[in-house]
Structure 1
Amino acid sequence: MVLDTDSIIRYEAKSYLVDLMEDYDKGKLIKISIWKSLGYLEFTENEVISSKMFRDNYGLSDTLVFKEQKKGRFLINGETYLIRGRENTRLYLEKH
């Protein structure tokens, strides 16, 4: 089930549901939203950084190692991601 408020992007004639969003203000993480069956659960920066189990469960890390491999393909913390869409200053990535 997909609600009207869900983040769906369309890229190259395919639709994607965004399952994790990170919101930043001037480079500072302010909120993480994670898709669950009834909608998005939202967590503040303090909730995220105070719980190591939360970070481990969702694959979040205190550091980010980023390297562009090819146009539209990136290596982030050892995992390859493809850009599936762009909107203003936001990138939508898919783990490859």
Structure 2
Amino acid sequence: MDDKYLWLSVAGLAGGAVSQIKKREAISPWLRLCHLTASACCAVYASPIIISYYELSQSEGQYLVPFGVGMFWLKLFEAADSSLSNFKLPRGK
């Protein structure tokens, strides 16, 4: 594994852990593990895109992106799911 992806996943795991601590919900260990895994995966795949889009590659802010993605990935997914569920195609007759 490339060092870049290792550090992105570590930052995503840390963000996911902070998110779980902040919620203070009682969840099963299996769901906790799945949440942390998804946090790391989202950080690895989304962070380079976000860093490139906002041109943060030469900035210190690039190091905050994978942590933030790991922390807020579920909120972003819920918001996207909610907005897409309200989108209706016109029915043709």
Larger-gyration structure (1/2)? 2
Q: Which has the higher strand share?
A: 1
Q: Which has the higher helix share?
A: 2
| Band of TM-score, shorter chain | under 0.3
Scaled by the length of structure 2, the TM-score of the pair is 0.24
